């Protein structure tokens, strides 16, 4: 008797769930939710084909150095790189002497304490230091950026979906808001102080266009600094900053696959040898 009641209760519960699911599916088909402006006008990043992409990708160190130059001359005014140290630049081809010179010449100095007065002070950067933040704290950062907090860029390509391509798409995505957006979605006009960028999640971003024109910087290697080139290069640099050991990880993965293939072959050979005289 108890079993029968339990089965009936279970069957009723399953039937209720099935009815609810059917109703949800029917509603979604017959009365779908209206599309949002973000869904219609959002632009997905295109593949920029960085050499570091793929299972066996390797960094183009010349491109990464150009990207560092873009970060240094354009992005560092607002964005920190707190998980990267100056000495890490040796991994992208700079010599120890060059790194020391870069650290000492960096515009923003390291915060410290004056040992004589106990007051806040600054000092020159050394290779062991992380890249200093352009702002003293979050309040100062928001005050300088219309209450928007510029994100740290150390891990930005890991924090955003399709990170490397996203960085490029965002930097190249600034444009005038299309008239059809406001026409089709009243109330979607870009608010004052924001900038229309369809590569951004909600189409409007507080950061002004950082790359404004071709030739904005002069590359040390002579490469023509178009907006697209600068966007690609800084995307390559930020890909490196998020995963500087990418090449060694790829190498370790390849070695592991080769080892497993050899191991499986040896196991198969041992199996055949042990059971070759056995009748099935």
Binding residues, as ranges, are 75, 78-79, 207
CB within 8 Å of 253: residues ≥ 6 apart:
55
Specify the DSSP element, H or E, that contains 195: strand 195-196
| Dmax (CA) of the chain | 90
Cα R_g (the chain), whole angstroms: 28
* DSSP code at position 191: P
Going by the annotation, the residues of the binding site for heme c are 75, 78-79, 207
Question: How buried is 183 (Cβ within 10 angstroms: 0-12 exposed, 13-18 middle, 19+ buried)?
Answer: exposed
Q: Which residues pair with 251 in a beta bridge?
A: none
Residue 85, C-beta contacts closer than 8 angstroms, at least 6 positions apart? 127, 128, 129, 130, 131
Burial 71-85 (b: 16+ CB within 10 A, else e): bbebbbebbbbeebb
Q: What is the rounded CA–CA span in Å between residue 81 and residue 37?
A: 33
DSSP label at residue 76: G
Specify the 3-state DSSP secondary structure of 130.
strand
Per the CB < 8 A criterion, the answer to whether 269 and 82 are in contact is no
């Amino acid at each position: 008797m108890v079993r029968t009641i339990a089965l009936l209760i279970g069957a009723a519960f399953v039937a209720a769930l099935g009815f609810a699911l059917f109703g949800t599916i029917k509603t979604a088909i017959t009365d779908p939710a209206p599309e949002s402006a973000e869904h219609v006008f959002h632009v997905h990043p295109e593949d920029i084909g960085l050499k570091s992409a793929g299972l066996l990708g390797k960094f183009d160190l010349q491109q990464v150095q150009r990207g560092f130059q873009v970060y240094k001359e354009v992005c560092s005014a607002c964005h920190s790189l707190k998980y990267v140290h100056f000495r890490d630049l040796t991994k992208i081809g700079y010599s120890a002497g060059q790194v020391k010179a870069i650290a000492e010449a960096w515009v923003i100095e390291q915060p410290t304490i004056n040992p004589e007065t106990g007051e806040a002070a600054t000092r020159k950067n050394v290779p062991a230091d992380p890249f200093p933040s352009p702002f003293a704290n979050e309040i100062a950062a928001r005050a300088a950026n219309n209450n928007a907090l510029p994100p740290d860029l150390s891990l930005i390509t890991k924090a955003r979906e399709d990170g490397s391509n996203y960085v490029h798409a965002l930097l190249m995505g600034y444009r005038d808001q299309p008239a059809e957006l406001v026409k089709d979605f009243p109330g979607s006009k870009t608010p004052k102080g924001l900038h229309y960028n369809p590569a951004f999640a909600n189409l409007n971003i507080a950061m002004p266009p950082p790359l404004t024109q071709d030739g904005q910087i002069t590359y040390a290697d002579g490469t023509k600094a178009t907006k697209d080139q600068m966007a690609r290069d800084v995307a390559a640099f930020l890909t490196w900053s998020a995963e500087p050991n990418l090449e060694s990880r790829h190498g370790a993965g390849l070695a592991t696959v080769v080892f497993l293939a050899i191991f499986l072959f040896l196991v198969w050979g041992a199996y055949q040898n042990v059971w070759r005289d056995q009748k099935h």
